[in-house]
Chain A
């Protein structure tokens, strides 16, 4: 992140059909913008999906990104979420090595404190589900790093504006 850059979270409503993600991602690539994270899924309205895209950009670049996104014909709407009024969540699945019974106890305790869920246990590993703000996921990952993370999958951020504003 450069000095005059900040994080923008773009809630982008798009047609749910083949090629749309490609066209969108390609616009970023072609114009030299970097996507920080992107998550896509269907929404309450038929035939539409929401792409939550986060980017670090200065103001002019952000403006250009929004205009170029809006220009894509399969993009119905682009909303810049107000960072102060935003609910952001990320899901991570983390497979951690279990060295001994002490490790198992400690990890189980940490999961309680972080309100994570243990969703699978085998003799030498467990899978933990972490949901929360990206910061919380980061913090948990840091905490358990020493135990030996075997595999990890993060979804990227998805977000909604609080309150009645749409």
Chain B
């Protein structure tokens, strides 16, 4: 026990959880914590908007696998975090948000900058805590990290009244905490693993659908070993890209609304689907009723509530994905020495051949070319984040992710403005690796103020803007489904992005052709200042193929004609 303030206890607690960077903005009700931070070795990165602070923490978490921390003052500081917290919640990303609250005597009195932060974030957090005495802080922090990072990860918010931050007391940092109602079920049932192995081995056309849960569990190697033993092709969800190397002969890429056509076609043919760490999102499956109608489905997930939520599996397995895949691999190995090429694995080669280099609709335009060029130049451990819109879908279709945690995108919430601050967070986590944000002009404008953070804090990330002067994705839908009635999608009035970058003290380039792009991109990722590459592109270039909303995965559109 040592005499210290709540704020000092908080900083010590964070340090002992391994926190070395915090993203945030100070304010009246969190100032005691910032004062304690002054004496600490934890790096503070001053975001220019709390939404960005939360996205940075999220990007940090997804790139590193360790919880990211963001911090804000009460009231508007806390409410600005909301989009970032909801984004992390939708994608099961472990962030810990720390917010200041007015002093206890003012709570409930509508004091200046008081708001019911816990009430607001309850539906978008895994848990919330509000320590009411300084000596409760260390335990609260330990609980927050435990809950955020284990089981199905997610955001946890700790709201601390100002007088609790300043309160001095005898405090010790506990080594362990116990949360009574929280016991994630991690061990799979052995008989179920045996059954899963048998189902897969007896199937003629086994397939694996791998999701974000595989990345969270660091289980990509086991997944790969299983796929190779079974000669089972692998499709992923959008967030699952990177859970299986997309340059592998068995990779078919992502399924879903803007998935690869080979993946969408083949998932309609399988007779046994091993779904791992996926949540059967409607964006992935298309119409639930039609999805894998004739296949038996094995579903492994740490969250029991995901099993049967949208689609009833034949074999539900609640377990940590890593442990389950380890045991499944062992079971398969016991039963199968080596599998010779099958009709099914030949079909995989055939379908890949058919679609690999095909362009959908028109010739492969500038935007897919840019995306492929980024892949060509970025090393396999380089990180690509995306914004939301056509840019994200070009990335989904044309960017082959090779290693886990190198593809960071907002899938569950689909948050525009996520990619750039997430890239900043990822770069803080992985300073030695090039980090690139693939952006649309609309999305970039939502969080472009992170350029100040990049310059100020020497965080050299590269932003590639596919600049179509429009809210491209919405425009595409209006073109296809609303009879070209373009409502509120023209983005005129954007600044010159090259000059904007320069105004911040960053670097700006414009690339009019793929050759120009190649040259400046190579320069950008080696540069020690943040770089914006503005690529003027045609608004009419639409993303295809496309499974229209509410349809089954087999109803793929290859171009506007078929819409």
Residues of A within 8 A of B (CB): 14-15, 18-19, 22-23, 26, 30, 60, 63-64, 67-68, 70-77
Contact = CB atoms under 8 A, between A and B. Distances in A.
Interface residues of B, number: 20
Contact of B308 (A14, A60, A76): A60
B122 A19 contact: yes
Interface stretch (B177-185, B228-236, B341-349, B506-514): B177-185
Given A64-B308, A67-B304, A73 B181 contact: yes
B308 A70 contact: no
A64 B305 contact: yes
Nearest to A14: B181
Given A64-B309, A70-B305, 16 more contacts: A15-B181, A18-B130, A19-B118, A19-B122, A19-B128, A26-B122, A60-B308, A67-B307, A71-B305, A72-B181, A73-B126, A73-B147, A73-B182, A75-B181, A76-B180, A76-B181
Nearest to A64: B309
Contacts of A68: 305
B221 to A, nearest CB: 29
B123 A73 contact: no
Contacts of A15: 180-181
A124 B118 CA distance: 48
B504 interface: no
B477 interface: no
Nearest to B309: A64
A73 B303 contact: no
Contacts of B181: 14-15, 72-77
Interface of B: 118-119, 122-123, 126-128, 130, 147, 179-182, 303-305, 307-309, 312
A30 B119 CA distance: 14
Contacts, number: 40
A8 to B, nearest CB: 16
Contacts of B182: 73
A73 B178 CA distance: 12
A63 B308 CA distance: 9
Contact of A22 (B122, B130, B179, B304): B122
Contacts of B126: 73
B305 A73 contact: no
A67 B180 CA distance: 17
Contacts of B307: 67
Contacts of A30: 123
5 contacts: A19-B118, A23-B122, A73-B147, A74-B181, A76-B181
A30 B123 CA distance: 8
A72 B182 CA distance: 8
Nearest to B180: A76
Residue among B119, B303, B305 with the most chain A CB within 10 A?
B305
Contacts of A67: 304-305, 307
Contacts of A60: 308, 312
A15 B143 CA distance: 15
Contacts of A19: 118, 122, 128
A86 to B, nearest CB: 24
A76 B183 CA distance: 10
Nearest to B125: A23
Contacts of B128: 19
Top 9 closest pairs, chain A to chain B, by CB: A67-B305, A76-B181, A73-B182, A73-B127, A67-B304, A68-B305, A71-B305, A30-B123, A75-B181
A12 B118 CA distance: 23
Nearest to A72: B181
A68 B306 CA distance: 9
A77 B128 CA distance: 19
Contacts of A26: 122-123
Contacts of B119: 22
A74 B181 CA distance: 6
Nearest to B124: A30
Contacts of A64: 305, 308-309
Nearest to B184: A71
A48 to B, nearest CB: 9
Nearest to A76: B181
Contacts of A76: 180-181
Contacts of A73: 126-127, 147, 179, 181-182
Nearest to B147: A73
A104 B223 CA distance: 77
A23 B125 CA distance: 10
Contacts of B122: 19, 22-23, 26
Residue among B126, B127, B180, B181 with the most chain A CB within 10 A?
B181
Nearest to B126: A73
Contacts of A23: 122
Contacts of A70: 304-305
A66 B214 CA distance: 25
B92 to A, nearest CB: 13
B413 to A, nearest CB: 15
Contacts of B308: 60, 63-64
Nearest to A67: B305
Nearest to B181: A76
A71 B180 contact: no
Nearest to A19: B118
A22 B128 CA distance: 12
Contacts of A63: 308
A19 B303 CA distance: 23
A88 B62 CA distance: 49
A22 B309 CA distance: 23
Nearest to B303: A71
